[in-house]
């Protein structure tokens, strides 16, 4: 039996990339058959969820389905911002968010790359929030949809947690800097106000507000 998976955009947004996947054999794993298209919301709107929610990567396709990208109007109040942030991180369950290498090592003395950090924060998202944004598509010139970290990078980019460089790259193999890590972590909460810089070497730094916020929150 063969199936078709279709992605469509609701009002106030659009999709970029392939949206119809045909001739999918019954029982084919989702991640092998489908590449979720990139999501673009119109100004004043944000992507809310896929309806129905996307299945996990290891699930198999057993029927044809259509997934609609739902967009909602952005609310600017601080209370709505806090409410949205509160459902992003999974604070209830205990699970492995750091995974080692195929050879059974974790390499504790090695430096962490940008794509590895993306993978960690991807796993920390709640299932519902992750599935609402989950995609392997992205606008980065150096992150193909077949890369092992494509879903981690694509998903976090879709929900505005990570971004790339001015030249259009993400540089997944580069080591993450302390400023970049502080910025990612700070985007999971409201920025904390501060009276003065907490460190002597961050005046004028692009990540100044994120570093100070992370420090203020302890």
- CATH number (domain holding residue 18): 2.60.40.4270
Q: Backbone phi, then psi, for 8, in 5-degree steps?
A: -130, 155
Per residue in 71-114, pLDDT (tens digit) is 888 765 544 445 455 457 666 666 677 888 889 998 999 999 99
Is residue 9 in some structural domain? yes
CA nearest neighbour of 148 among 217, 214, 102: 102
Q: How many domains does the chain have?
A: 1
pLDDT at 127: 85
SS3 of 155, please? helix
In a domain, 47, yes or no: yes
- Measured between its terminal Cα atoms, the distance across the chain in Å is 55
Q: In the prediction, which pLDDT does 78 show?
A: 47
Classify residue 21: in a domain, yes or no: yes
Any bridge partners for residue 70, and if so which? 49
152 vs 98, higher pLDDT: 152
Q: Provide the mean pLDDT of the chain.
A: 87
pLDDT at residue 109 in the model:
93
* Euclidean distance between CA atoms 179 and 187, whole angstroms: 12
Tell whether 60 is covered by a domain. yes
Token digits of residue 122: 């991807």
pLDDT (0 to 100) of residue 56: 83
pTM of the model: 0.64
The residue-averaged pLDDT of 114-126 equals: 94
Omega prior to 52 cis, within 30 of 0 = yes
* Structural domain that includes position 2: 1-74
Summarised one tens digit per residue, pLDDT across range 177-217 is 999 999 998 888 767 667 788 899 998 899 998 898 888 87
Residue 97 lies in a domain: no
């Amino acid at each position: 039996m063969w199936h078709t998976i279709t992605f469509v955009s609701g009002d106030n947004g659009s999709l970029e990339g392939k949206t119809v996947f045909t001739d999918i054999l019954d029982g084919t794993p989702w991640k092998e058959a489908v590449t979720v298209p990139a999501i673009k919301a119109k100004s004043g709107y944000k992507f809310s969820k896929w309806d129905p929610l996307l299945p996990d990567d290891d699930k198999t396709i057993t029927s044809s389905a259509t997934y609609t990208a739902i967009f909602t109007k952005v609310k600017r109040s601080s209370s709505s911002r806090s409410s949205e942030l509160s459902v992003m991180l999974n604070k209830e369950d205990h699970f492995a968010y750091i995974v080692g290498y195929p050879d059974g090592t974790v390499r504790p003395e090695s430096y962490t790359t940008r794509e590895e950090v993306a993978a960690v924060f991807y796993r920390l998202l709640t299932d519902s929030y992750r599935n609402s944004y989950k995609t392997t598509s992205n606008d980065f010139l150096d992150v193909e949809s077949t890369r092992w970290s494509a879903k981690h990078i694509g998903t976090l980019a879709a929900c505005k947690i990570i971004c790339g460089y001015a030249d259009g790259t993400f540089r997944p193999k580069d080591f993450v800097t302390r400023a970049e890590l502080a910025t990612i972590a700070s985007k999971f909460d409201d920025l904390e106000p501060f009276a003065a810089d907490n460190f002597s070497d961050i005046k004028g730094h692009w990540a100044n507000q994120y570093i100070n916020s992370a420090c203020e929150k302890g």
